[in-house]
Amino acid sequence: MTEFSEQFIQKIPKTDLHLHLDGSLRLSTLIEFARQGNIPLPSYEEEGLNELVFKENYADLVEYLKGFAFTVGVLQTLENLERTAYELAVDSMADGVRYIEVRFAPQLHIATLPEIGNITRAVFQGLEKAKKEANLASAVVAGEDIPFQYGIILCALRRFNRHMSPYYAHMLKTKSPAQRREVYAGASLALVKEAVQLRDEGLPIVGFDLAGEEAGYPAIHHKDAFGYAHRHFLRKTVHAGEAYGPESIFQAITECHANRIGHGTFLFSEEAIKLASIKDKTQYIRQLSEYIANQRITIEVCPTSNLQTIPEFNSLAEHPIRRMIEQNLSVSVSTDNRLVSHTTVTNELLLLSRHIPLTHHQLRNIVLAGFKGAFFHAAYNEKRIYVRKAINRYLALEQQHFSENSS
């Protein structure tokens, strides 16, 4: 087992492909926004909020998600969204992260459909400001560090209720419970059409996502939205296998054309398979995982978040990421929610290296999988150049690290 120092992991160029804007505010900024907007919080002190809401350990996913009522609650103005995006980029860069894909659900922050463009532009402006500042740094200009880059992923929800936003309340207002499935699908289709239009206007919209409760709300209900994304060359990632079995991952790939999978935690779980039509569960999982490996469908694994929300795992040693690595799947480690999970990419990689015996080759593959699997808002040849810079930077720091430790 190779020892990786925190200093080394912090220095190496990293990515954060699975990064929710509304779960990654600075706690001090959340409190400031709440005071300014007269929004009630359980506490207006960081210590109090960490004790009552944003804990180190959660009982389950329900408790984990409670904090989003407060984070989304303060992200209802363009100014707050722009500043949050800016601070998220700055904080990520301070952690040695050089590429992020920020995902969020614009429909959580709006009252009417036309506002999606303004909401997305506000996030873009915050990220772009941080990028321009970062890339003026002397180390970047001198070629001693790689530039900071980012992309935006717009996120649809498998289901929602009228309390989540005025937009959702309006959509559900005249619909019966029996019609909700079509309402959920309609919201996704409306969002992806906006995403494509904004992308075509020049905004760095690099992907479309589907999040939310898996059980009872399969991704196939949103097939029209993902078909639209697919036909318009917008890349797709789907939260799948996070709280449901391998067939959820299969459906995301086959019905929604997913280029990446968010979490994929129950990929290898025979017990989690629900479909009676799957007779040979072992073979099904083997074929599915082999397909994912061969197609280089990157799995966005969020270790701390998984440990906090999935009771089946008492430690990372029990997490399937070890098997994913052993089978040479394309695995990228992300934070999910920096605030809610109290984590950084450096923390995630340290946690992984301390609980799973990683070789330096395996760590390198995990880190670089993020760059290779990035959706990236530029021509493919530009992405290749950027990935090569990341590889060269990583190899130089790796050589320095091991030469210092061997001397």
Q: Which two tokens stand for residue 237?
A: 């990632």
The CA distance from 295 to 297, in Å, is 5
Token code pair at residue 65 = 């998600």
Provide CB contacts within 8 A for 214, sequence distance 6+: 158, 239, 240, 242, 243, 244, 248
C-beta neighbour count of 389 within 10 angstroms: 17
Distance CA 227, CA 16 (A): 26
Among candidate residues 101, 194, 214, 242, the one labeled active-site is 242
CA distance 255 to 222: 9
User: How far apart (Å, rounded) are the C-alpha atoms in residues 264 and 282?
Assistant: 17
Q: Cα dist. 130→98, 137, 197, 204, 229 in Å?
A: 12, 11, 24, 14, 28
**How many Å apart are CA 139 and CA 137, to the nearest integer?**
6
Beta strand 235-240 with 205-211 is parallel
> According to DSSP H, which parts of 95-158 are helical?
115-134, 138-141
Q: Is 3 a catalytic residue?
A: no
Cβ neighbours of 113 (radius 10 Å): 17
**Residue 20 structure tokens:** 């929710």
Tokens of 43: 């506490």
Give the SS3 label for residue 238: strand
Extract the tokens encoding 109: 């922050």
Sheet holding 14-20, edge to edge: 14-20, 97-104, 149-157, 205-211, 235-240, 260-263, 298-301, 331-333
User: Which residues are tagged catalytic?
Assistant: 242
